[in-house]
Amino acid sequence: MGIINEYEEILIGNRKKISSNYFLFDKKGNERVALSVIRYAIENLLGWDVHNAIKLFNSNYISFMKLDQMVKYIVFPSDVTKDDTEYILYLLYPKYVDYDIKRYTLRIYEKVMNNEGRYPKDYMYGYLGMLRAKICLQYAINQNLLFKSADDLYNFFASKDCIKYLKQNKLYQLYVSFYSTPLEYMHDSMPSSVKNEFLFHNYMFLNKYQQVVTEEEKAEKNSKVYYSLNLHGIAQYRYSSCSPQQSQNGFFSVVPPITTLLFGYSATISLIKEVLNNTFCSGNSPVVTESRTSAYCDIPVKPTVTAFSLNLKLTKPSVPEDAFCSC
């Protein structure tokens, strides 16, 4: 075995490192090669069996046995540090050493909570990432939340208060990585003895219903159309462009031009207000307010209706010769 010979050459000081020609595989393949060297050092050179290796093998022996180069080829999970020899022993002896994902996960989580570091890059990736998110939430709930019943638990995670709680306990990033709502995150994280399908679906329905109601209220609030009508301009437009016979539908057919001439502008403005209220705003109790030249009418309509503004040039109409009848 050429790699073992080179490793022994390193131990006696004749070489600085093992040739890279032995590590031309993928990550897992290179890891197996490195593990074979570590196993040789533990079992053949140190003479330990499995039980002694579990008790004695630590980071000091990695340096002592010049295994640092081999450790670089070990693919450590994101929640395991590269000086963690227990994980190396787990790879060597999986029947005797367990990879306790809960312990590793909570070790990282406690560092994050104490502002001693961040979540590793692939900590929230894949199945293991989701499992870590569940472990962290269970731990946080057990540490700082107390509920009298399952209903209280589900009610809390269906409320807006839980978002603040997740952020304070550094769980928000884990939540948004895998779930759509905090309620789903909590329900999926609970053991079967705590899960309640009825409460879960009940609060999911209530949240969805409240969301629909809120969206409808916003749509209704934003669906008012504001009509800006220049009153004098309307009279001029009616006089110059339309006649009662030409326009039977719409706003302009209800104010004859002769009204402005006979009753004056003040009376015409009052008439237009009444028409706006009765014709365009019936049943909605609108309020028409007047500025110097414009009247505004708030008309609730469906959201699909687009608001428009009609601003016509303000000019005083001239009186035609036949405006008054000769009596």
Confidence of residue 83 (pLDDT cuts 50, 70, 90): confident
pLDDT of 263 strictly over 80: no
* List of residues 6+ apart from 164 with CB closer than 8 A: none
Same domain, 130 and 212: yes
pLDDT of 19 strictly over 60: yes
Q: Which residue has the higher pLDDT, 220 or 214?
A: 214
Same domain, 94 and 124: no
Eight-state DSSP code of residue 227: E
pLDDT of 235 strictly over 50: no
Taking the alpha carbons at both ends of the chain, their separation in whole angstroms is 130
Q: What digits encode the pLDDT tens for the residues 137-153?
A: 999 999 988 899 999 99
Same domain, 23 and 72: yes
Q: Cα–Cα distance between 325 and 327 in angstroms, integer?
A: 6
pLDDT of 74 strictly over 80: yes
Instruction: Count the neighbouring beta carbons within 10 Å of the beta carbon of residue 158.
Output: 21
What percent of the chain has pLDDT above 90?
Answer: 52
- Average pLDDT, integer, range 167-183: 95
- pTM of structure: 0.56
Residue 112 lies in a domain: yes
Least confident of 98-112, 183-197, 207-221, 280-294: 280-294
pLDDT of 50 strictly over 90: yes
Domain of residue 287: give its range. Answer: 224-317
* Boundary (domain end) residue, out of 49, 78, 99: 99
Same domain, 207 and 245: no
* Boundary (domain end) residue, out of 186, 204, 220: 220
Q: Cα–Cα distance between 186 and 275 in angstroms, integer?
A: 58
Alpha-carbon 277 to chain mean position: 45
Torsion angle of alpha carbons 108, 113, 117, 122, nearest 10°? Answer: 50
